[in-house]
A and B are shown apart, each in its own frame.
Chain A
């Protein structure tokens, strides 16, 4: 059964690493639904969160193939119940004709913040689980979305034991 799943990766923070990982997905016919990358507290190391879709076979193959890449220090599958995942949304919403109150009410319901107020639109910021973000976007459609930008999911395991000590990689 095809389901979404999340992979968390500890990778070398070098040019070309993203290319290798994205290349592996296309080479093996897997899809990247979302991707987030950022430096960790150790500047040599980045953490990536990749969300993909597939069955049990695809899940285990992707993780095994990723772990073979020299620049990947660790790739693990994160189960929903054992991890915390959030996504970030910036959305530009029309305000003319709606009045700010409708927009504010909607954003308050989802915990969003207004980051910028323009003449005929606002830019709002929302952080939360992917499902919340999706729901919020659906609700925003009638108000008039000018454009939006999503970060891709960020995930961390709830586990404290099998965490890779990234400071080991300081050369």
Chain B
């Protein structure tokens, strides 16, 4: 069949099981949007308020489904508005396909209207990218792009399609089948098995790679089999149910006391799908002083990048864990288990449940939601409180910017996450600072009729920066006191959503007694204390010895 490039793009997206795309139209993608118009019964397009929101929506969608999601933007400013979203996906290894239009080939390279070199701009933050000049290149490129985004360590791929390629025509076959998931032989596991067998105090450090390879069951089984407590990175947080006895919670700078302490006392750390970011390890020379490290990762470049592990196992986490499990005998370690459970008790909340505190607000909302509810966050104190206190039970339910720390991520991610979870109730925890960055996406949520519950932990300040200014900069609060007079309730209503101010736990309860709207967002402006800090905290470049409990 002879199709236009734009038609080929849409046909291939549909062939790759893409049901929804996020984006924003413009001059250089008119042909693509014309084909979306033709095919609106086969593929849905959700227009955002700003391309950044669309990129985060695709990211949120991909995190929920585990499969590549698509965002489309026009050339020039449309494309540059995607940059933060692409970088965010890159740092968290999220498979998104960013499609940008570009000017016609004769205009390329002439500083034409709305022309930028988006492939050049995004080069350090994509797994791969393409410039498509002619229609006949497109079919192969789209197929290869999907294969790259979803193979190995996942990540974003950008396809920049000139107007010439969109409107030009060529033969379309529709039968490419590219895969880069070749079966590599498993690494030699004998040294790792020996280390596991002889370990007296094993500890499992579980990261986002566990979710990416669907190895949740295997991690849990390994923990039970060898009596190893589990600490999690923020990216791996939902891989293990929070109700599991040996799940000690998140580790790192704002990790749980038990998780950090158990890590420091362990004689063996089995690190699965983690990249040992500086926020997770603190001072590297102290971090693994007492333990042997087995590092399992699909990305060979992560092995030895930050932590010099003694046993590197490169490959798919699920396959490696399955193979390990086939040779590991059950081993009880009552002393070690009792010890970490004792540490875990000290992480229990001591605040009065009636106090209007972040952890109580989060726990209350958790109790009202099901374990299937998707939860998005922005970045800052509220994010750490959610990570510490929400209690996730199922994988892929948390959408949070782990690596890039993108304030403004949450609103777009919540839209994408909600659409990906059959438009069921989705929660966004945000702060007044983060929310201010991309609150324009309320418009998207309203026009899509999405039942978002947006909980603003509103302290009137940029809380995390203020916390550092308080602790490390002599309380010199430079530019973190916002002095805004935003009325979030009126704002919500102006967008066509609902909003309420909440000042106490009883007011929060009455919100739920009144019932939540089913087809539009509800914004809860929760007025919390401006000096509430996130604890525990290991100061930057510190170790567990420096942990501050609050």
Contacts and interface: CB of A to CB of B under 8 A. Distances in A.
Contacts of A61: 301, 304-305
Contacts of A57: 304
A65 interface: yes
Contact of A27 (B124, B299, B300): B124
Interface stretch (A15-23, A94-102, A120-128): A15-23
A139 interface: no
A68 B305 contact: no
A14 B301 CA distance: 25
Interface residues of B, number: 14
B266 to A, nearest CB: 25
A16 B119 contact: yes
B301 A70 contact: no
Nearest to A27: B124
A64 B120 CA distance: 22
Contact of A19 (B120, B304, B305): B120
Given A16-B119, A23-B123, A68 B304 contact: no
> Main secondary structure on chain A at its contact with chain B?
helix
Given A16-B131, A61-B305, A67 B300 contact: yes
A9 B287 CA distance: 35
A20 B119 CA distance: 10
Contacts of B127: 70
A60 interface: yes
B212 to A, nearest CB: 16
B246 to A, nearest CB: 33
A27 B301 CA distance: 15
Interface in B76-132: 119-120, 123-124, 127-128, 131
Interface in A37-71: 57, 60-61, 64-65, 67-71
Contact-size category for A: 10 to 19
Contact of B124 (A23, A68, A70, A71): A23
B148 interface: yes
A126 B305 CA distance: 40
A46 to B, nearest CB: 17
A70 B128 contact: yes
Interface string A91-109: 0000000000000000000
Nearest to B140: A171
Contacts of B299: 68
Contacts of A24: 124
B305 A20 contact: no
Contacts of A20: 123
A20 B130 CA distance: 12
A68 B148 contact: no
B304 A60 contact: yes
Interface in B208-249: none
A15 B300 CA distance: 27
B301 A64 contact: yes
A68 B151 CA distance: 12
Interface string A72-100: 00000000000000000000000000000
Contacts of B120: 19
A62 to B, nearest CB: 9
B456 to A, nearest CB: 36
Interface string B142-164: 00000010000000000000000
Interface in B303-338: 303-305
Contacts of A68: 299-301
19 contacts: A15-B131, A16-B131, A19-B120, A19-B123, A20-B123, A23-B124, A24-B124, A60-B304, A61-B301, A61-B304, A64-B301, A65-B301, A67-B300, A67-B301, A68-B300, A68-B301, A70-B128, A70-B148, A71-B128
Interface of B: 119-120, 123-124, 127-128, 131, 148, 299-301, 303-305
Interface of A: 15-16, 19-20, 23-24, 27, 57, 60-61, 64-65, 67-71
Given A68-B299, A68-B300, A69-B128, 20 more contacts: A16-B119, A19-B120, A19-B123, A20-B123, A23-B123, A23-B124, A24-B124, A57-B304, A60-B304, A61-B301, A61-B304, A61-B305, A64-B300, A65-B301, A67-B301, A68-B301, A70-B127, A70-B128, A70-B148, A71-B128
